[in-house]
Structure 1
Amino acid sequence: MTSTLPARLPAAGGVAPVALVSESALRQNAPLALAAGTGSRADDVFAADAWGHGAEWVASVLSDLGMDAAPLDAAVLFGLPGSHARPVLSLRGRALGTKPLLRGEGVSYGYTHRAPLDTTVALVTGGYAQGVVRSLGNAVSVSIDGRRHRIVGRVAMDVCVVDVEDAVVPRGSEVVFFGDPVAGHPSLREWTDATGLTPAEIIAVVGVRADRRVTA
């Protein structure tokens, strides 16, 4: 199915967040998706560019496994919340830099967040143009070097601000917006709870708007 979603757009400065899709997770999930889809109405796994994972890539992996997409349960195949399967897609950004934020100072448009204490904030690649929904500001956290840090203030078009407190976050540090909870990443469920969107709606947008890459 041809995607009707917008094409990818580069983030500020040409540094786009990365939608990382895991081939090992897709291969591991495929037999589970077949079992889950048997005897029920299977979802169209190729809808919206394979739910943001890349229809051509998903088709090639399934073909290599000798599998037909028709009977597969898409939620299980892609490891969405509630499926008990490995998430195939994760969203990663990069820290562009940090700066001190003094008590009472605000961040981003409208100063919807003001620091209750002196702290440090990081500017991170990834904004609403790449699927980091505006309502995630002041609502969810990201993972940097294994620690959780909250997104604060309003999410901008290509970047957002993260309160890193006392952590040392060098420029270029990887920031995980969501991924595999088993690996300590924030869950996509946190995004659905904060936004009211479905997992499919979120990953379909993220997958086509971020810089999508395949990993083993």
Structure 2
Amino acid sequence: MTAADLGDDSARVRVGSGPVARVSRSALRANARLIDGPFLGDFAADAWGHGVAEVRRALDDVITDRRPSSPVPARDDGLPAEHVNTLLGLPGGDSRSRPAMSLVGRVLSTKVLLADEGVSYGLTYRAPEDTHIALVTGGYAQGVLRGLGNRVSVSIAQRRCSVIGRVAMDVCVVDIGDAHPERGAEVVFFGDGEDEEPHVREWCAASGLSGLEIVTAVGLHARREYVP
């Protein structure tokens, strides 16, 4: 599969409107309960890609009784980093917190990749043996970092599958081995780390970025939806 093949497929076929950044309201509330102390400062970057209104609502639901009786000036540095990481369930926060955001794409198509055939732009990956690959919605335009190709995996039907080749603007390629997911099957880029779902800490390790940097980029560029 050449770079041209990838470009043609991504332009010709769409499932939905691209990957979705799902934000769990229950996770935000549960994480907020783990934070001790008042919250100061304004939320930046649309609450790190999670949505100011929803994050504020979760805090209001949980910590109203913790607020001081008199107004507290906002600090220039906003919330302490540890509190933010706890609230969003990211590395660096309370270990009991769970990720509030997951990034989910869909399978566009599948095909055979023969041994020694390359995939995606620049052919940075060549198959060591015959396999099957899937074209998946989600690329660098939605926060799936270009440098993650050949370095991270996704979850399809609770099975880990490697992202191979360079990540394109709106799609990426995944080695699915002998699996045969249907078109439209859900692909989890990162989630709560259970049932074989990758955790955002894997993206941190592969990219050198913080969890906050990653979820902010995803939340601001992917389509966002809220779940209970």
Cα separation, 2, equivalents of 1:163 and 1:185: 16
Map 1:1-216; keep pairs closer than 5 Å.
13=14, 15-33=17-35, 35=36, 38=37, 46-67=43-64, 73-83=83-93, 84=95, 85-216=97-228
Structure 2: any 5+ residue segments left out of the alignment?
1-9, 68-73
Q: Determine the C-alpha separation between the residues in 1 that align with 2:42 and 2:157.
A: 33
CA distance in 2, matches of 1:27, 1:129: 29
CA contact (8 A) 1:141 1:150 kept: yes
Give, in angstroms, the shift of residue 15 of structure 1: 2.1
TM-score of the pair, normalised by structure 1: 0.87
Unaligned runs of 5+ in 1: 1-10
The CA deviation at 1:66 is 4.7
Task: State the distance in 2 between where 1:77 and 1:162 align.
Answer: 31
- The whole-number CA distance in structure 2 between the counterparts of 1:214 and 1:117 is 41
Measure, in 1, the Cα distance between the counterparts of 2:203 and 2:40.
Answer: 22
Distance 1:195 1:180 in 2: 19
CA deviation after TM superposition for structure 1 residue 184, in Å: 2.9
Q: What is the percent sequence identity of the aligned residues?
A: 56
Please give the secondary structure, in 2, of the residue aligned with 1:142.
strand
CA distance in 1 between counterparts of 2:42 and 2:117 reads: 46
In structure 1, what is the Cα distance between the partners aligned to 2:59 and 2:158? 33
Larger radius of gyration: 2
User: For the structure 1 residues 98 and 62, does the alpha-carbon distance in structure 2 shift closer, same or farther, using more than 3 Å as the test?
Assistant: same
